[in-house]
Amino acid sequence: MANFFYPLIFLSDLVSISHLRAMAVGNKTIILGVDPGTVVMGFAVLHCEAKKLQVAHIDALRMSWTHDVFERLERIYKTIDELILEYKPDHFAVEAPFFGKNVQSMLKLGRAQGVAIACAIKHGLPVTEYSPKKVKQAITGNGNADKEQVWGMLQKLTGIVEKPKGFDASDALGVAVCHYYESLSPMAKIMGNGKAKDWENFIRKNPGRVQ
């Protein structure tokens, strides 16, 4: 299904209207962040309450290249399913695939991301996707920050001490924290407060915000 985007101002990126509604979080919410991969998939569960961020769980699913690709996709689905059933998140945030030159790698990564998203949708979770650059920008203020810089800020923001093996899990935590901060944006609050049920209503109620 195609995603339709609308021109909004006061946002650094184009964000779909359905995502803006989904992004608005309450004073207490749980976010499942995922960094998809066909061999390693990072995931993190973030508890957000009264502007306090706490990591409930962070880890990575590690698989072997020798395993059948469809077997790996099944493991990804089951892992996300188990996480949702155990931690009961309110939101699902996933990192967008990095567009490289290797087409086959991109296709495989897209499959992994699609399986994870499908599982979240099955459970009725709102899904939001963020580019790696957007995640870095939201956490460090620099879209070109390296992974060590991002991890350092995540430690300060969440109080997490022990560094997970590899950056897949910390990348997933970064996606969850990014989603939390994006949910605090003025536009997300407008679209998530139930007063603007669709794009037409939003334009009518906020004529000064649309060019």
| Residue pLDDT, tens place only, 51-61 | 899 999 999 99
User: How does the average pLDDT of the chain come out, rounded?
Assistant: 81
Instruction: Reply yes or no on whether 35 is catalytic.
Output: yes
Q: Rounded to an integer, what distance in angstroms lies between the CA atom of residue 205 and that of residue 120?
A: 32
Which of 35, 129, 171, 182 is an active site residue? 35
Q: What is the pTM of this model?
A: 0.77
Which of 95, 129, 171, 182 is an active site residue? 95
Which of 129, 168, 171, 182 is an active site residue? 168
More confident: 58 or 7:
58
Q: How does residue 206 score in pLDDT terms, banded at 50, 70 and 90?
A: low
User: Mean pLDDT, to the nearest integer, of 199-205?
Assistant: 52
> What share of the chain has pLDDT > 70, as a percent?
74
All domains in the chain, ordered by first residue: 17-199 (3.30.420.10)
Q: Give the Cα-Cα-Cα angle 50, 52, 19 (nearest 5 degrees).
A: 75
User: Mean pLDDT, to the nearest integer, of 7-16?
Assistant: 32
pLDDT in tens, 88-137: 999 999 999 876 667 777 888 899 999 999 999 999 999 999 999 999 99
Q: Which residues contact 100 (CB under 8 A, 6 or more apart)?
A: 106
User: Mean pLDDT, to the nearest integer, of 14-30?
Assistant: 53
Q: How does residue 12 score in pLDDT terms, banded at 50, 70 and 90?
A: very low
Q: What are phi and psi of 179, to 5 degrees?
A: -60, -40
Instruction: Report pLDDT for 65.
Output: 86
Q: How far is CA 160 from CA 10, 26, 128, in A?
A: 32, 23, 24
Structural tokens at position 57: 């769980």
Instruction: Report pLDDT for 122.
Output: 97
Instruction: Report pLDDT for 160.
Output: 95
Of 98, 119, 125, 113, residue with least CA distance to 19? 125
User: Mean pLDDT, to the nearest integer, of 173-185?
Assistant: 93
Q: How does residue 205 score in pLDDT terms, banded at 50, 70 and 90?
A: low
Instruction: Reply yes or no on whether 168 is catalytic.
Output: yes
Q: How does residue 47 score in pLDDT terms, banded at 50, 70 and 90?
A: very high
Q: Which residues contact 164 (CB under 8 A, 6 or more apart)?
A: 42, 58, 59, 60, 170
